[in-house]
Amino acid sequence: MSEKHVFKSELQQILNLITHSLYSHKEIFLRELISNASDAIDKIRFNSLQNDPLLEGDRDWKIRLVVDKEARTLTVSDNGIGMDHDALVENLGTIAKSGTKAFLESLKQADAAAKPGLIGQFGVGFYSAFMVADKVTVISRPAGAQGAMKWESDGLGEFTVDPAERAGRGTDVVLHLKEEEKEFLAEYRLRSIVKQFSDFIEHPVVIDADKGEGKTEEETLNSRKALWLRSKVDVTPEEHEAFYKQISDDYDAPAKVIHYAAEGTLEFKALLYIPKRKSWDLQFAEPKVGPRLYINRVQIMDHCEALLPPYLRFVKGVVDCSDLPLNVSRELLQHNPLLEKIQKSLVKNVFQALNDLRASEPETYEGVFKELGPFLKEGLARDFANREQICDLLLVGSLKTEAGRTTTLAQYVEAMPEGQQDIYFLTGEDRAVLEHVPALEAFRHRGWDVLLLTDPIDAFVFPTLPDYKGRAFKAADRHQPELDPEEKKKEEEAAEAYKPLLGLLKGLIGGLKDVRLTRRLKESASCLTSDEDAMDPHMERLLQKLGQ
């Protein structure tokens, strides 16, 4: 009697959606299964660094594709870590990921080109097997265990788990292909899919290639190139694009490549990519922070958080360091002075690359900043040491820019007229509304520019910024332009003259803290303002929206 289980209900929905919305990209199932096999090999290799007997002598890492034309099955086999009963039930029967709902939503909305990437980003890759198979059998034997287990499902709502046999450690994923998906039995088809989607996978993907007259020979289908180990000039833009797409699940080329080898006291190779847009997982799923960490070509971690600060989570790539011991533990990696040094270098290079992009391809940079700017601004609030560098990268609208155009803070400071000491800004939801704020009149009159900031995060970040290039940040609706001595004198005289009138007005209109003469207004007769230390009204609205 088989042990029966029911898929969690959301899974059912996911299966339906995957099969229907990815109909024209069915071949990515192979990429997902190969990537799982590769992860499984990385895991056992990592564990074996501290427990070598676990391998039982088998360190011939391999992902094998096996075709059985008669049975109409395609099998993806690995000698990775394997799964026991509970792992099979847990990993292949439930989706524990928090972003599932968001995944479903984004899959519905995404344009066709983006869809294949979403599967990998949301970690539901295994289920893509049901796009081409009407039954999937998984036979797995964990490292160090004697017996194997068999998981089987038609993807319609239930799966079974039974004891089984398997010669060594690892996993076979057997796809019983649908009648109309026979093409995935053809060697040339498999070759081209592996080449297209899995070429940079580190472990060999092999097949028993048909050599004619009934003879076969094991052949490796992927080139396994480690681009980051090559010198910068030897990697073509096409290779970068292909590699970036494989590690990022993006469907577009990266906006900027960062490739360098650090030499001297600390040696490492870095190959990082800045994307053109924010990936879906950055918005909806648990973000994965940090590039992959390799030690001498051996992958240690998929995402090494110690290598980049969280606000740079949009950066994808690989860092290979030969100075770390191979048997380093994950705990040790958390607070490692070596990694801290590498992080410093990476951060510096990311800023440099963004600056280069801004200078050399302003239009591309504008697009990138629209997507990634909020992450950089998050850095303003968290990474005090790099504030100035992040400020250099900001693009902001201002009174003097046309709607939709931007300036940099450096340009703003450069263009400040004589007499202006500080950087003035105003935050709000909408530029058109901000333009009509009465407080701006005095600035217009003097020819002083004011930053008009409409990104929601601006209201949280800018009021906390101390200065840029020695110029303080000031909210334009609380701080009026400073006066020269002559103006000051005039103002004091006027205040004296109007004192009785102001007193009278304050008495007439209830609920006001004070009635003052202002030099803010040139055209309006009066305006309401808040105290310099009171909460900014825009911020008050934002907080209200957040339920504070």
Q: Which residues are annotated as a binding site?
A: 32, 36, 78, 83, 91, 97-99, 121-126, 171, 330
- Amino acid sitting at position 235: V
Residue 264: helix, strand or coil by DSSP? Answer: coil
Place of tokens 């994923």: 173
Which listed range, 36-44, 144-152, 330-338, 423-431, lies at the site for ligand ADP (CB under 6 A)? 36-44
Which listed range, 73-81, 261-269, 292-300, 397-405, lies at the site for ligand ADP (CB under 6 A)? 73-81
81 forms part of the interface with ligand ADP (CB under 6 A)? yes
126 forms part of the interface with ligand ADP (CB under 6 A)? yes
Rounded to whole angstroms, the Cα distance separating 211 from 22 reads 34
40 forms part of the interface with ligand ADP (CB under 6 A)? yes
Contact indicator for 313, 287 with CB cutoff of 8 Å: yes
Q: Least distance (Å) from ligand ADP to the CB of residue 149?
A: 12
Residues numbered 152 to 191 that lie near ligand ADP (CB under 6 A) are 171
Q: Least distance (Å) from ligand ADP to the CB of residue 292?
A: 15
Which listed range, 120-128, 226-234, 440-448, 499-507, lies at the site for Mg ion (CB under 5 A)? 120-128
Joined together, the tokens standing for residue 319 give 């860092």
Residue 216: helix, strand or coil by DSSP? Answer: strand
- Comparing every residue's Cβ against ligand ADP, the nearest one is 123
Our CB check for ligand ADP shows the closer of 63 and 333 to be 63
Rounded to whole angstroms, the Cα distance separating 246 from 230 reads 18
Our CB check for ligand ADP shows the closer of 42 and 449 to be 42
Joined together, the tokens standing for residue 516 give 């003052």
Q: Which neighbouring-strand residues pair with 319? A: 270, 293
36 forms part of the interface with Mg ion (CB under 5 A)? yes
Long-range contacts of 69-75 (CB under 8 A, 24+ apart): 69/185, 71/176, 72/176, 72/177, 72/179, 72/182, 72/185, 73/174, 73/175, 73/176, 73/177, 74/174, 74/175, 74/177, 74/184, 74/185, 74/190, 75/172, 75/173, 75/174, 75/175
Which listed range, 28-36, 58-66, 231-239, 413-421, lies at the site for Mg ion (CB under 5 A)? 28-36
Q: Which neighbouring-strand residues pair with 423? A: 473
Which listed range, 35-43, 45-53, 358-366, 408-416, lies at the site for Mg ion (CB under 5 A)? 35-43
78 forms part of the interface with ligand ADP (CB under 6 A)? yes
Joined together, the tokens standing for residue 330 give 């994950």
Q: Which does 78 bind (CB under 5 to 8 A by kind): ligand ADP, Mg ion, none?
A: ligand ADP
125 forms part of the interface with ligand ADP (CB under 6 A)? yes
Rounded to whole angstroms, the Cα distance separating 132 from 176 reads 8
125 forms part of the interface with Mg ion (CB under 5 A)? yes
281 forms part of the interface with ligand ADP (CB under 6 A)? no
- Comparing every residue's Cβ against Mg ion, the nearest one is 125
Count residues near ligand ADP (CB under 6 A).
15
36 forms part of the interface with ligand ADP (CB under 6 A)? yes
Q: Which neighbouring-strand residues pair with 79? A: none
Q: Could you count the other beta carbons within 10 Å of the beta carbon of residue 96?
A: 9
Q: Which neighbouring-strand residues pair with 317? A: 272
Place of tokens 């332009």: 481
Strand order in the sheet with 148-153: 3-6, 158-164, 148-153, 133-141, 170-177, 73-78, 63-68, 205-210, 216-220
Count residues near Mg ion (CB under 5 A).
2
Three-state secondary structure readout of 159-178 = EEEEEECCCCCEEEEEEEEC
Binding residues for ATP: 32, 36, 78, 83, 91, 97-99, 121-126, 171, 330
Angle, CA of 269, 271 and 276, to the nearest 5°:
165
* Selected binder of ligand ADP within 21, 91, 196, 220 (CB under 6 A): 91
Our CB check for ligand ADP shows the closer of 31 and 358 to be 31
Q: Least distance (Å) from ligand ADP to the CB of residue 344?
A: 30
Our CB check for ligand ADP shows the closer of 174 and 321 to be 174
Contact indicator for 453, 427 with CB cutoff of 8 Å: yes
Rounded to whole angstroms, the Cα distance separating 461 from 453 reads 11
107 forms part of the interface with ligand ADP (CB under 6 A)? no
Our CB check for ligand ADP shows the closer of 92 and 393 to be 92
83 forms part of the interface with ligand ADP (CB under 6 A)? yes
Rounded to whole angstroms, the Cα distance separating 9 from 369 reads 39
Can you give the binding site for Mg ion, defined by CB under 5 A?
Answer: 36, 125
Can you give the binding site for ligand ADP, defined by CB under 6 A?
Answer: 32, 36-37, 40, 78, 80-81, 83, 91-92, 123-126, 171
